[in-house]
Amino acid sequence: MTQPARAPELEPSWHGYDPTAPDADRYDDPFPHLARMRRDWPVNETPAGVWRLFRYEDVVRVLRELPCGVRRADGTATGMAMGGAGPSGGQFMLQQDPPNHTRLRKLVSKAFTPRAVERWRPRVREIVAELLAPALDAGRFELVAGLAHPLPSQLICEMLGVPAADRERFTDWTAVSTHLLRGVFLTGEERTRVEAAAGSLATYFQGLIAERRGRLGDDLLSVLIRAEEEGDRLTPDELLIQSIGLLVAGFETTVGLIGLGARNLIDHPDELAKLRARPELAPSAVEECLRFESPVGMTTRVLHADAVFDGRTIPRDTTMWLSIWSANRDPARFRDPERFDVERGENEHLGFGGGTHLCLGAHLARMEAQEALGALAARTKDLARRPGRIEWGPSLFRVPARLEVELKAS
């Protein structure tokens, strides 16, 4: 059936979907709003001066095909750049375009190859078992504080070689510093608190790096210190900035992946039963969790050349907001996209972004979620969450703050 032509957009508008405006109902379930935008206003100029894209095809085109980056074509940062605050001054690799980004990513990527990540799987399995044991005995637990948060927290501390006595304050600084990624959306009071935490984290890292240089091991920090490619090495400032940036960018998103994944498995008991009966579905289940409701709902790119969408020319140096959530539920790309299906095949979702800035820690996040969600299914015969509205964390990402769960051990 032929779709009716959309009326032209006479002037910039949010069309009722402004992600910067507080709206508890919209935040609880943004997907109907996104479906409406994808149908009626898939290419949308906003009053904030940025453009938004909601269709999978358009988002992929920007991420993988068009000349674009996270900075303007001349290399300067935009006013809408995420994470411009703080000690990094925009020098973290996610805030850089090639050739700077290419160089930094090549040096750092050695620590995040599939082989390097797989070395940690047995330890992740042990941590998950340790975290689940008291919950299985008690028959209930708060899943975020009991599993989703402490797993990536403990793992990254062990990977970096952070002493056990320092881990609580280290992870507190990390959780607060994550909000640097909100960039211009931080209020004055928030910025003061976040920059103080980031400063404490930087001071701690400087000491940790100095100590590690004297006794290199096989931990993540030692790998970054040793990192070299064709005679090139990270400078001391680059080592500090990339170490903190990787920690901040990957910590809370993994908390969100495990928390949201658990919620969606619990809310779809037939799919949970499939995973429980067939543990080998854990990798597929995690991919579906990432497609159905990823922690990262939107990513940003800046056009480096004029581009045409739906007959409208968007000029060079325009900031584009790309809706990952909408693209991942686009019926033009995914069959029955509103259905949560742990057996879904050909699941080329955009939960980790795409193109040059594809998430460097994707292998690590996947592995942690596979072990956490796989064990949660395998070690329980009954799993339910308390009904009612979810309490969300104050994050740039979609991260449950609390998830009260009742369970029975298998």
pLDDT at 6: 60
Radius of gyration over every alpha carbon of the chain, rounded to an integer in angstroms: 21
Return the structure tokens found at 155.
Answer: 């793992």
In a domain, 211, yes or no: yes
Kindly give the pairing relationship between strand 404-409 and strand 140-142: antiparallel
In a domain, 14, yes or no: no
Q: Which pLDDT band, with edges at 50, 70 and 90, does 343 fall under?
A: very high
In a domain, 9, yes or no: no
Return d(Cα 329, Cα 60) in angstroms, integer: 13
In a domain, 18, yes or no: no
User: Which run of H or of E encompasses 301?
Assistant: strand 298-303
Mean pLDDT, all residues of the chain: 90
Return d(Cα 294, Cα 87) in angstroms, integer: 28
pLDDT at 184: 63
Q: How large is the average pLDDT for residues 316-328?
A: 97
With a cut of 60, say whether residue 371 has pLDDT above it: yes
Return d(Cα 136, Cα 139) in angstroms, integer: 5
What confidence tens digit (pLDDT) does each residue in 45-63 have? 999 899 999 999 999 999 9
Return d(Cα 233, Cα 312) in angstroms, integer: 44
Lowest mean pLDDT among 159-168, 282-291, 372-381: 159-168
Query: What is this structure's pTM?
Result: 0.92
3-state secondary structure of 375: helix
User: Which run of H or of E encompasses 402?
Assistant: strand 400-402
pLDDT at 8: 62
Return the structure tokens found at 113.
Answer: 């190859």
Return the structure tokens found at 177.
Answer: 């510093």
DSSP notation for 294-363: -S--EEEEEESS-EEETTEEE-TT-EEEEEHHHHTT-TTTSSSTTS--TT--S----TT--GGG--TTHH
Q: How large is the average pLDDT for residues 87-91?
A: 56
Return d(Cα 348, Cα 310) in angstroms, integer: 24
Return d(Cα 89, Cα 218) in angstroms, integer: 29
With a cut of 70, say whether residue 64 has pLDDT above it: yes
Number of domains the chain is built from: 1
Q: Which residues contact 141 (CB under 8 A, 6 or more apart)?
A: 134, 135, 147, 405, 407
Return d(Cα 34, Cα 387) in angstroms, integer: 25
pLDDT at 247: 81
In a domain, 13, yes or no: no
In a domain, 152, yes or no: yes
pLDDT at 209: 92
Starting from the edge strand earliest in sequence, which strands make up the sheet with 404-409, in order?
140-142, 404-409, 380-385
Residues linked to residue 229 through DSSP beta bridges, in sequence order: 232
pLDDT at 170: 87
Top-confidence residue, 212 or 248: 212
User: Which run of H or of E encompasses 323?
Assistant: strand 319-323
pLDDT at 233: 87
Q: What is the DSSP letter of 397?
A: S
In a domain, 1, yes or no: no
Cα 280 from chain centroid?
24
Return d(Cα 38, Cα 56) in angstroms, integer: 9
pLDDT at 90: 66
Domain range spanning residue 160? 24-409
pLDDT at 248: 77
Q: Which pLDDT band, with edges at 50, 70 and 90, does 79 fall under?
A: low
Please report, rounded to a whole number, the percentage of residues in the chain having pLDDT higher than 90: 61
With a cut of 80, say whether residue 288 has pLDDT above it: yes
pLDDT at 88: 46
Give the CATH number of the domain where residue 313 resides.
Answer: 1.10.630.10
Kindly tell me the sign of the dihedral angle through the C-alpha atoms of 21, 23, 24, 27.
negative
- Confirm if 155 and 130 have CB atoms less than 8 A apart: no
pLDDT at 182: 67
With a cut of 50, say whether residue 83 has pLDDT above it: no
Measured in degrees and rounded to the nearest 5, phi and psi for residue 392 equal -100, 145
pLDDT at 45: 96
Return d(Cα 198, Cα 175) in angstroms, integer: 10
Q: Would you tell me how many other CB atoms lie within 10 Å of the CB of residue 313?
A: 9
Place of tokens 């507190």: 172
3-state secondary structure of 43: strand
In a domain, 92, yes or no: yes
Q: Would you tell me how many other CB atoms lie within 10 Å of the CB of residue 382?
A: 11
Place of tokens 């690590």: 364
Kindly give the pairing relationship between strand 312-314 and strand 307-309: antiparallel
Q: Which pLDDT band, with edges at 50, 70 and 90, does 329 fall under?
A: very high
Residue type at 369 in one-letter notation: A
